[in-house]
């Protein structure tokens, strides 16, 4: 880490540390927060996730009194984010002043990082989002396991509520309800709610900030249920349709507090023809790529798996590849088991070589015994 020359930057795979001046170091969190960097399924290229291990190693090298954490992240792993939160709070305990700036989007687990700082600044055109914790489940689970997962999620939520309540001064019950509702804030609303402390660029024309909410094309936020209409055309929306998008927070500019709630895809298409056309085109392109990726990894003999993944129960190519590998392993095990069973049924193991040249003489040969009786060595 440089400590003398101004504007010297060290590039990292997942983020960027730069010495802004002799008294301030900037840290950029511009990607998903994860427990480790993941390599691409198709290549050996390492991912660009922000991990606590490397983050903490670099943070320890900071020598300036002031640190600015700049965030443009949808969040990620809650435990990894908590580790980064702890590192930030330890630096504050050492006397460092840590400021957070939300440069574009601060959502989910990234919010926990922001509220760990001394203060958070945000432009009016940026976005801020909180929600209940999620868990990714794959496979089969019984009731005890599901109850265990629910208990874990509730504990995670209670810890998050405590952090948010300490930052905002809000009642914990209110925080819980805001999280369950999956609440999205503009920059101004984030400041009003207490999650952020100051607006950046307050002299910016308000109409410009309304019309330029930032570029969300790099984020897959289709998992969320309450996406503001201003962001829908910037999100990578999946092909299942738009019914999962709740519009209770989206205001009709002409109607004041009156909400817009299209009930069907046809109503949404009528209200936003250009937007829905763009979404349909994006979804079609995404689906074509998904099918092509599956075709690229398809192997002879696994047509049933490939067919189901393409049309019946749509899956990503990576998941299909794992299923094929698992099926190959299963087939190999079955083959070996069948060979063992054939050997057993043939009774080949019961055949002896006694009496043959070179054969062990651990058993008496009845033919040899008869000859010895007729022609004994001594008469």
Q: Which long-range contacts (CB under 8 A, 24 or more apart) does 235-239 make?
A: 236/282, 236/286, 237/279, 237/282, 237/283, 238/283, 238/286, 239/283, 239/284, 239/286, 239/287
d(Cα 162, Cα 290) in Å, to the nearest integer? 41
Contact 166, 89 (CB under 8 A): no
Domain spanning 9-131+182-214: CATH superfamily? 2-enoyl-CoA Hydratase; Chain A, domain 1 (3.90.226.10)
Q: Give 357's pLDDT tier (boundaries 50, 70, 90).
A: low
pLDDT of residue 204: 56
Residues in contact with 59: Cβ distance below 8 Å, sequence separation at least 6, in sequence order: 27, 67, 87, 88, 91
Cα 120 to the chain's mean position, in Å? 25
**Joined tokens for residue 106:** 């601060």
Instruction: Find the range with the poorest average confidence among 45-59, 101-115, 117-131, 155-169.
Output: 45-59
d(Cα 276, Cα 263) in Å, to the nearest integer? 14
Higher pLDDT, 321 or 232: 321
pTM assigned to the model: 0.54
Instruction: Find the helix or strand (DSSP H, E) in which 60 lies.
Output: none
Q: Give 111's pLDDT tier (boundaries 50, 70, 90).
A: very high
d(Cα 354, Cα 348) in Å, to the nearest integer? 15
pLDDT of residue 167: 94
Q: Give 39's pLDDT tier (boundaries 50, 70, 90).
A: low
Q: Give 162's pLDDT tier (boundaries 50, 70, 90).
A: very high
What backbone phi and psi angles, to 5 degrees, belong to 220?
A: -90, 95
pLDDT of residue 363: 55
Q: Roughly what angle, to the nearest 10 degrees, separates helices 143-168 and 78-93? A: 30
Q: Average of pLDDT values for 52-61? A: 86
Contact 312, 294 (CB under 8 A): no
Using one digit for the tens of pLDDT, what is the confidence trace for 309-325? 778 888 887 777 778 87
d(Cα 234, Cα 135) in Å, to the nearest integer? 25
pLDDT of residue 229: 61
Using one digit for the tens of pLDDT, what is the confidence trace for 240-290? 343 344 444 444 444 444 445 666 777 777 777 777 777 777 777 778 888
């Amino acid at each position: 880490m440089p400590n003398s020359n101004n504007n010297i930057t060290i590039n990292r795979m997942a983020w960027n540390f730069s010495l802004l001046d002799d008294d301030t170091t900037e840290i950029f969190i511009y990607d998903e927060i994860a427990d480790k960097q993941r390599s691409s399924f198709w290549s050996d290229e390492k991912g660009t996730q922000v991990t606590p291990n490397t983050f903490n190693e670099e943070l320890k090298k900071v020598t300036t009194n002031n640190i600015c954490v700049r965030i443009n992240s949808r969040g990620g792993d809650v435990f990894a984010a908590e580790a980064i939160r702890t590192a930030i709070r330890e630096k504050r305990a050492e006397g460092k002043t840590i400021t957070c700036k939300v440069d574009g989007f601060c959502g989910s687990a990234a919010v926990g990082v922001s509220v760990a700082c001394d203060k958070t600044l945000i432009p009016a055109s940026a976005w801020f989002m909180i929600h209940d914790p999620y868990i990714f489940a794959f496979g089969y689970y019984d009731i005890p396991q599901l109850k265990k997962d629910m208990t874990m999620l509730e504990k995670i939520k209670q810890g998050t509520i405590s952090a948010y309540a300490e930052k905002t001064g809000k009642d914990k019950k209110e925080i819980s309800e805001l999280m369950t509702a999956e609440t999205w804030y503009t920059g101004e609303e984030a400041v009003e709610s207490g999650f952020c402390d100051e607006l950046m660029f307050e002299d910016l024309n308000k109409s410009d900030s309304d019309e330029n909410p930032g570029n969300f094309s790099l984020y897959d936020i289709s998992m969320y249920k309450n996406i503001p209409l201003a962001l829908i055309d910037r999100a990578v929306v999946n092909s299942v349709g738009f019914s999962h998008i709740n519009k209770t927070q989206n205001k009709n500019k002409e109607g004041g507090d009156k909400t817009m709630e299209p009930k069907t895809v046809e109503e949404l298409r009528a209200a936003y023809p250009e937007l829905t056309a763009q979404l349909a085109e994006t979804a079609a392109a995404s689906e074509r790529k998904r099918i092509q990726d599956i075709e690229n990894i398809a192997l002879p003999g696994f047509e049933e798996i490939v067919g189901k993944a393409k049309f019946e129960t749509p899956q990503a190519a990576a998941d299909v590849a794992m299923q094929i590998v698992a099926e190959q392993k299963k087939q190999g095990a079955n083959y070996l088991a069948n060979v063992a069973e054939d050997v057993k049924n043939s009774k080949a193991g019961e055949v002896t070589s006694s009496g043959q040249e070179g054969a062990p003489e651990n058993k008496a040969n009845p033919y040899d015994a008869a000859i010895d009786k007729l022609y004994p060595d001594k008469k």
